[in-house]
Amino acid sequence: MRIGGRRFKLPVVSRLTLAWLAFAALAAGVALYTASDDSRRRAAIAMTVEGIERIAPPAERAPSIADKIERQAFGRQAAASAIEIPVEEAFGDEAEDALEGIEAGASAFADRADDIVITVDGAPARSIAATPTLASLTSLRIAEPDAALLQRTAYGKAPRIAADGRRAAKVYARPFTPGESPHVALIVGGLGLNRALTERAIDELPPEVTLAFAPYARDLDFWARRAREAGHEFMIELPMENRSGEGEALGPATLLTSRDEAQNLQSLDWILSRAEGYFGVTNYLGAHFSADRAAVDPVLARVAAAGLAYVDDTGALKGRKGGGVAIVSRLIDPGFGAEKTRTARDLESLEKYAARSGEALGKTYVNADTLDALVDWAGGLGSRGVALAPASAVLAMRATDS
């Protein structure tokens, strides 16, 4: 180059600098390409991350089974949720689903387990619902929800008797063929509020065990699908007034003697719309409500009109005929606190009842300390000459004998 009439050559060091700059640019390009390709590979790999689970503190010791159950997660969870039952008429052809207003304020359970994914190298994408279990591979499947057995309500889809006369109580019952041995059935309730316990109950209990879910459980459709895939028939629990004057101790959808018929039926309609594919409903506590015929009769009539079975563990409905109502033979102590041995004692009594009567229906509530005992007891019935049957099968046996 010429500057002021004089000719100059670029210094050698400048040429080396240009070479280093070119090499650095090439290296940067290679690094960017590698990062982009690695990002694309990781984007194709996912694993499920569960939502945050809120565990209620342990219950205080109380003198009766009902008192102990009442102080568990069900009541606290329901009371803490921001559920508000709308006041408009429950049934309407073009009504909007009131569930949209129910989810507000429930951040601890807002994320669906099968909707959240993160990228992790080396693990295939899979949701929790797709996880195979031994029960789902070996057991009979429960029927999928049938649109003919559903009707649109202000709160979503609720069960009804199909035009051809089919009822949920039979369609969604686990298939079972009675044998010559005594039959015993067990309902395990209080599920859906504690994720870990609910998963254990679904996966570890034999598929013949009937499950019952709290209506306040988040992602109830998810749990219903999991139970169905594992071969369990299931029920929805109706929270009911246990002692006079308790009010909404079990949440805003609690059925109360202080409410009129229309209000209680509205709460019932909301509960019935929480899931699909269940064969019946059962009380959650409710000794006081169940003993009030003026309060409980309209509820039982609505349940029967929906084609559902009803199981009572309070004993207040004993001797009642018809309407698909069944009474448990024994309420099994869940073994809260220092009373774990009572669970085994009650299970033994239930088994003896079946041996005397040919069938028995038991009910208990899930408890981490005694779930293993339930699994062991149910798994050993066959060796003692007793057949484990779903609750719906025992109800069918009783209907045949009556």
Q: What is the pLDDT of residues 276-320, one digit of tens each?
A: 999 999 999 999 999 999 999 999 999 999 999 999 999 999 987
Residue 27's domain comprises 9-43
Q: What is the pLDDT of residues 317-355, one digit of tens each?
A: 998 766 679 999 999 999 987 777 899 999 999 999 999
pTM for the full predicted model = 0.71
207 and 346 belong to one structural domain: yes
CA-closest candidate to residue 155, choices 213, 85, 219: 85
Q: E strands along 121-233, which residues?
A: 150-153, 156-159, 183-191, 210-213
Annotate 330-353 with b (16+ C-beta within 10 A) or e (fewer): bbbbbbbeebeebbbebbeebbeb
Using DSSP, state whether 135 is helix, strand or coil.
helix
Q: How confident is the model at residue 401 (pLDDT cuts 50, 70, 90)?
A: confident
Instruction: State the CATH number of the domain containing residue 322.
Output: 3.20.20.370
331 and 252 belong to one structural domain: yes
Residues 235, 311 contacting (CB under 8 angstroms): yes
Q: What is the pLDDT of residues 135-179, one digit of tens each?
A: 444 447 899 999 999 999 999 999 999 999 999 999 999 999 999
Arithmetic mean of pLDDT, 183-207:
98
30 and 151 belong to one structural domain: no
22 and 76 belong to one structural domain: no
Q: Is residue 1 part of a domain?
A: no
187 and 319 belong to one structural domain: yes
CA-closest candidate to residue 346, choices 358, 325, 361: 361
158 and 281 belong to one structural domain: yes
pLDDT of 295 reads: 97
Q: Is residue 3 part of a domain?
A: no
Q: Is residue 361 part of a domain?
A: yes
Alpha-carbon span 386 to 225, nearest angstrom: 29
22 and 84 belong to one structural domain: no
Using DSSP, state whether 25 is helix, strand or coil.
helix
